[in-house]
Amino acid sequence: MTVLPYALAGWLFLMGCYGLATSRNLIHAVGCLAVCQSATYVLLLAVGYRDGGTAPVFSDIAPGSRPVVDPVVQALVLTDIVIGATVTALLLSLVIQVAKRHGTVVPDELSELRG
């Protein structure tokens, strides 16, 4: 089952997309976007995993004594999480504004234009 972790990432992403497209609530949609993003964490960590590997931190293990997992993808996941958190905050503040101006958070009811 060597493709299972990759397949799981793909499945998570598609589930997030399904939620985004069928969402009837903007807060729910922001949550679905977070699910899509978690798929990228799973994919990156699956790419970087190494059998018997440990964390790529050499403060308590001698360099070269044990295999370490890929540090590049771990740094990318760290980036991803920080951006995900702040963008989620920005989107939620947009939802607050939409709710204040239009009195609804249902995307289908937001089709009318307002000056």
Partner 1 sequence: MSRTLRLWVLLLGAGGLAALFAVACAGMPRFGGAWHPYGDRAVHAALAHRTANTIASVNFDQRAFDTLGEESILFGAVLGTVVLLRQTREENRRQPEPAHVYPAVRRYALFALPVTLLIGLYVIAHGQITPGGGFQGGIAVATALHLLYIAVDYRALERIRPIGRYEVGDAAGEAAYVLVGAAALVSGAAFLTNVLPFGTFNTLSSGGTVPVLNAALGVEVACGVVVLLARFLDQAVEIEETP
SS3 7: helix
24-43: contacts with partner 1 (CB under 8 A): none
Contact predicate 41/77, CB 8 Å: yes
Using rule CB under 8 A, residue 111 touches partner 1: no
Using rule CB under 8 A, residue 106 touches partner 1: no
State the virtual CA torsion across 39, 107, 100, 98 in degrees, nearest 10: 60
Q: Which two tokens stand for residue 80?
A: 């991803």
Among 25, 54, 66, 86, binds partner 1 (CB under 8 A): 86
Using rule CB under 8 A, residue 104 touches partner 1: no
Using rule CB under 8 A, residue 4 touches partner 1: yes
Closest CA to 45 of 16, 15, 53: 53
Residues that bind partner 1 (CB under 8 A): 2-7, 10, 14, 17-18, 21-22, 46-51, 55-59, 63, 67-75, 78-79, 81-83, 86-87, 89-90, 92-94, 96-97, 100
